[in-house]
Amino acid sequence: MEIKILGTGCPKCAKLEKVTREVVSEMSIDATVTKVEDIMDIMAFGVMTTPALVVDGKVVLKGRVPSADEVKQLLTK
């Protein structure tokens, strides 16, 4: 699984990255988590509000920080 955190470095983006990495570790998910901060790369996903979560190339969440439980649901769909 490939997970990307889209965000320019704001506190909400950092929180989403932290929560996502914790969930991946806790659930022992075989995933690569990367942070995308370049605005042009973020816009290439059609995202205008950050933070955003991309799983295997698909934007599954944008514009807010989800709870850990919501991240678990998004990653296990």
CA atoms lying within 13 Å on the CB side of residue 55: 17
Residues designated catalytic? 10, 13
Find how far residue 41's CA is from the centre of its chain: 14
Length of the chain: 77
